[in-house]
Structures are given as C-alpha cells and as structure tokens.
Homo-oligomer: A and B are copies of this chain.
Amino acid sequence: MTKLDHAQIENLLQELDGWTYANGSIQKSFIFKDFKEAFSIMTRIAFEAEQQNHHPNWENVYNQLTIKLNTHDVGGITQNDFDLATAIEDITSKG
C-alpha cells in the first residue's frame, strides 16, 4: 500500500465528482432528503467499507453527511481511499 503524492491525489480526484483533498483526507459532503435516507445510505456504505476492510471517518446530523477518507497506516492517502470513494459515489449516485 503506497502513499500517494499530491499530484497523484489531484489526478485521481478528477475521476470523482465533488471530492476534495483537505487536512490529510479526501472528503465530500452530502445532503439527503431526511435522516432515514441519510442513514440508509450510510448502512450501504458501511457494508461496502467492511467488505473493503477500509473505513470512513464520517459525521452525520439529520440529513447531512460528511465523509473523510485517509489511510491511517501510512499517514496519508492510498489507492484504498479512492477505491472506497468510488464505491461511495456508486452508492450515492444511484439515489
């Protein structure tokens, strides 16, 4: 698992929709219809994260969800973060 450099991160971010790099994480915020919709999406992401054995730092209040991804073991961003971000994009874009 290799720590990606800034140029690699910026390149990979361009393949995602609305993710940014800040404070050592790639992150995105989402607004859903209500709490039930937000938590339903979180549940689908939770199963995906567990399957990838890579887990988000995420914060929710009512219909708002902010997800931050980084790889603790290398103190930075790895392909694992982009793999999980891609899965999250897939889940959230399906509605």
Q: Which B residue sits closest to A56, measured CB to CB? A: B61
A36 to B43, CA, bound (A): 11
Q: Which of A35-67 contact B (CB under 8 A)?
A: 35-36, 39, 43, 46, 49-50, 55-62
A43 to B50, CA, bound (A): 15
Q: How extensive is the interface on chain A, given as a class?
A: 10 to 19
B35 adjacent to A55 (CB under 8 Å): yes
Known contacts: A46-B39, A50-B35, A50-B36. The answer to whether A60 contacts B61 by CB under 8 A is: no
Which of A43, A55, A56, A58 has the largest count of B CB atoms less than 10 A from its CB?
A: A55
Interface positions of A (Cβ within 8 A of B):
35-36, 39, 43, 46, 49-50, 55-62
